Structure formats: structure tokens, C-alpha cells
Amino acid sequence: MSTPIAFLKGHGAENDFVIVPDADNAIELSPAAVAALCDRRAGIGGDGLLHVVRSAAHPEARHLADEAEWFMDYRNGDGSIAEMCGNGVRVFARYLQHAGLVGEGDLAVATRGGVKRVHIAKPTSSGADGDITVGMGRAVLPEGEVTVSVADRHWPARNVNMGNPHAVAFVDDLAHAGNLYEPPPFSPQSAYPDGVNVEFVVDRGPRHVAMRVHERGAGETRACGTGACAVAVAAARRDGLDPAETGAPVTYTVDLPGGRLVITERPDGEIEMTGPAVIVAEGEIDPRWLASAAR
């Protein structure tokens, strides 16, 4: 490709993304190209990349085209493919609104983790963009004990799957998680053959927790939507709260380094995540640079 490639930059609770609009799926984004774009020193910089494609134009999403017009072809910052990204879905929806492709209200977005239901709220009284709520699906709680480690510390972790795998460990101090640049060791290895997102959690108050996370393929990020959902579910079960048993929704506030998310688990198991999503810049990628950087 010899013509410039449009891009935008956005974030949800400072979980940031390079956005590449490509309705017809005409742009080839190799893992090396994605990693180059997400490089914070030599590229645009981001925890991941949101490739915006019409579902009908992408072979992995054509079967979902009747349910959702748009497909979030999500890539981790290292170029690997991921099933889902909760903050990414909110930023994806904000981009569609920013581009005039959708308005306020309800929206369906296709992902590798299935179709996600999104609600774009009206602007606030001050004129700021309203929060975006995403239906994140149901959590699966696989059985079996898991342990995560940092240096000489070890913690039991709750295994939670939100379309991608999470190991949630409750700790006394978030500093005990270390730098989280590298994946924290876990055992048994058979629990997560393709790697895992690891969350470290402390209590802040009733139904209020704070967390840090190592995201598989990205390192420590400022926020992780599926991780926040996994943390809320793990905290609720630890606290003896199961909406399916009580018949009442359970809501947790989750503080992350980049901001705050509100997670609600409903009696039918559906989990909703609400938080901010912001578009901060847009421009053009030099195709010659990209071709060279992706080699």
C-alpha cells in the first residue's frame, strides 16, 4: 500500500489503543506491523490495536454480520490476536460514534468472543461524553486450584474466564505485585496453556476494590476491562455473593491505575461494565515507515 493509512488514538481508563479504520478489510496488519504501531518509542504507542472492519468483510466475523455490522479485530500490543478486550470495545464504540457511524443508544459489536451489546450514554450536563456500558457476557469459573507468584511470595488465585483467561489473586498490598513487566509465574502450567491475564487485588471498602494487572501479550496496563469483570466476580464469590442465588444484581466499584470502572453482575449471569472512553488524536501512518518497521 502506497497511500497513507488513517489512524486514531483513544483510551478507556488509560488503557490505550491505536485505532485503524478499515471497513472493507483492505489493510494487511501483520503481527510485526501491529507491534511496530503499538511501540511507545518508535511507533504511535498503545496497549493494543483496534482494527475496525465491517463484519461482512472479515472471514472471522461474516457469520455474525446479521447481528452486528462492525467487527472489532483486536490485537495485543505484541501483535498477537486476542479474543476480547472490554476497554477496547468501549473505545471501539466511541470511535464509531466519533466517525458518525452510530449515535447514542444501543449498539452491537462483533468480537472473537461473540457479539457484545453496548450502550452509549447521552453527554453529561457539562457537555462531556457520556460513559459507555458494555455487556461482557457471563463469567465461567473453572474448577481447580491455581497459584501465582512474584519473587518469594505466592498467592492462591481464582480462575475466571471472561472469554479470555484470568487468575485473580487477593493481596495485602498492590506493591507486592512487583513491576509486572513480565508475566507472573503460575502453577499448574496446564491451567493456562496459552498464557493468562493476572490480577492483583486489594480491598478499598464495601464492594469496592483496587487492582493491578498483567495483560497477556501487553504487560502491565493502566486498565483491563475483562480483568475488572473477573475481579468483581471473584470478589463477589469471596464475599459470599452470587446474584443467581440471591436474585439481586451485585455491583462492585473497581479502581485501576488509569481510572474507575463499575461492574454489575445480574441474576441471569450477564455482566455489565460501565466507564469512560475517549478519542484523543487522529492522523495518518506513513506506509513506507510501516512497511520498513514491520520487516
Amino acid at 249: P
| 25 annotated to a ligand binding site | no
| 86 annotated to a ligand binding site | yes
Q: What is the rounded distance in angstroms from the CA atom of residue 214 to the CA atom of residue 167?
A: 10
Cell of 198: 493476572
Peptide bond into 188 cis (omega under 30): yes
Contact call for residues 295 and 110 (beta carbons, < 8 A)? no
Q: Which phi and psi (to 5°) does residue 281 adopt?
A: -165, 160
| 226 annotated to a ligand binding site | yes
Cell of 223: 486498565
Please calculate the CA angle 279-164-28 and round it to the nearest 5 degrees: 55
| 197 annotated to a ligand binding site | yes
| 75 annotated to a ligand binding site | no
| 283 annotated to a ligand binding site | no
Q: Which of 225, 201, 227, 205 is nearest to 275 (CA)?
A: 225
Contact call for residues 101 and 94 (beta carbons, < 8 A)? no
Contact call for residues 88 and 12 (beta carbons, < 8 A)? yes
Of 72, 107, 224, 232, the active-site residue reads 224
Contact call for residues 108 and 68 (beta carbons, < 8 A)? yes
| 282 annotated to a ligand binding site | no
Contact call for residues 33 and 77 (beta carbons, < 8 A)? no
Of 5, 61, 82, 85, the active-site residue reads 85
Annotation says 229 is catalytic: no
Residue ranges for the binding site for substrate?
15, 76, 86-87, 164, 197, 215-216, 225-226
The catalytic residue positions are 85, 224
